[in-house]
Amino acid sequence: MNSQVTGLCLFLALATSASAQTLFGPTPYLSAADSPFPLGSPAYALETFEDHLFNQPGVSASTGYVTSTTFTGSIIDSVDGDDGIVGNDACSNCDSFFSPVGAVVLTFDEVALGGLPKRVGVVWTDGGSSITVTFKAFDVSDTLLGTVTVPNMGDASNHGTTGEDRFFGIEFSAGIKKIELTNSSGGLEFDHLQFELPCAVVPSVPYCTAKLNSLGCTPSIGGAGTPSASASSGFTISAVNLRNRKPGILLYSNAGRAATPFTGGTLCLAGPIKRVQDLNTGGTPSPANDCSGVLSVDMNAFRAGTLGGNPAPYLSTPGTVVGAQYWARDPGFPAPNNTQLTNGLEFVICQ
């Protein structure tokens, strides 16, 4: 049954600091694709409760429990698409979070997260019929950032209908300490708690498939440190298990992931592609032939211009998602396949 969201939605944004805040919602939400945030990015956390636990690090609920710990069947009102099927007004064997008192405060742990999230959202999935739902957000000093109040929310069913589900969220550049979701009566169910991770905990994510080199070794890429739009050092991208004493290049792009056949392996980056050139794998001196080669670049230093080359401007733009992959020569294969290729590494540029 469709949600009866009628009447005027009240948006109250209080100017509490020099940082502006933006409120989102209520907007229909059937799957993660309906979020205004890029949830596919490694910079975002998404708690769906589909493992039947509330175990997202760095956030806690003031009251309530994962719904399946007390209820079973269609009374559990999860986001529609969590079973992989969108548009059937139900989610089979899915889960959510329930507060029997009709209110819940979700608090973010600044210490555990290494900072406070700048974007936070949650999906209201159920409550009483034609109730008033209120969303509030607070900064680090517990000062109210804004309120969204929506009358006449909720259909007449407590059994799994998803057409009424609505997204609420906020963006605030100085950080969000907590959000509060309240029903005017009855219990409250929510799902898809989502937030932008502070840079201190955003991981560098390996993906794609490396090419086995001519000595039978599989090159591997990894990142250490924090990619920064301002620091001049501190984020190193390295590759191991490369053939020794061979020229190499670090390829990078902000155009997303790919899996394109390339020189007998896989190019993991979508174009256009930029390069960090004039590298060498080093390792055991010639005439030895082994997989002791290593490539390493401090991308913060490269971005700052201290390694030469022509760094892409987007390396200085916080929030940019960048992919990287190492290429090196491999004379053990005939041309044009005489190359070594690592897997890909995806990371997010921080402040």
pLDDT (tens digit, 9 = 90+) per residue, 262-273? 999 999 999 999
Of 198, 228, 255, the domain-final residue: 198
- Residue 3 within a domain: no
For residues 152 and 16, state if they share a domain.
yes
For residues 184 and 264, state if they share a domain.
no
Q: Is 112 helix (H, G, I), strand (E, B) or coil?
A: helix
The pLDDT of residue 170 is 98
The pLDDT of residue 33 is 96
- Non-local (6+) Cβ contacts of 245 within 8 A are 280, 281, 282, 283, 284, 285, 286, 293
Amino acid at 183: N
Which residues in the chain come in under a pLDDT of 70? Answer: 1-19, 89-90, 156-161, 200
For residues 159 and 252, state if they share a domain.
no
For residues 123 and 36, state if they share a domain.
yes
pLDDT digits (tens, 9 = 90+) for 197-238: 887 677 789 999 999 999 999 999 999 988 988 899 999 999
Total structural domains in the chain? 2
Distance (Å) of CA 108 to CA 105, 180, 196, 319, 324? 10, 12, 11, 20, 31
Cα–Cα distance between 280 and 297 in angstroms, integer? 11
The pLDDT of residue 193 is 98
The pLDDT of residue 18 is 42
For residues 177 and 209, state if they share a domain.
no
- Residue 5 within a domain: no
DSSP 201: G
The pLDDT of residue 93 is 83
Q: Is 95 helix (H, G, I), strand (E, B) or coil?
A: coil
Cα–Cα distance between 125 and 96 in angstroms, integer? 8
The pLDDT of residue 30 is 94
* Secondary-structure percent of the chain, ordered helix, strand, coil, rounded to 5: 10, 40, 50
Of 150, 181, 198, the domain-final residue: 198
Amino acid at 69: T
Amino acid at 202: V
- Is the bond into 151 cis (omega within 30 degrees of 0)? no
For residues 211 and 171, state if they share a domain.
no
For residues 137 and 241, state if they share a domain.
no
Give the domain CATH number at 74.
2.60.120
Structure tokens at 110: 């600044």
Of 198, 231, 247, the domain-final residue: 198
Q: Is 316 helix (H, G, I), strand (E, B) or coil?
A: helix
The pLDDT of residue 156 is 63
Q: Is 105 helix (H, G, I), strand (E, B) or coil?
A: strand
CB atoms under 10 Å from CB of 71, counted, come to 17
For residues 277 and 137, state if they share a domain.
no
The pLDDT of residue 19 is 59
Which range marks the domain in which residue 268 is found? 203-348
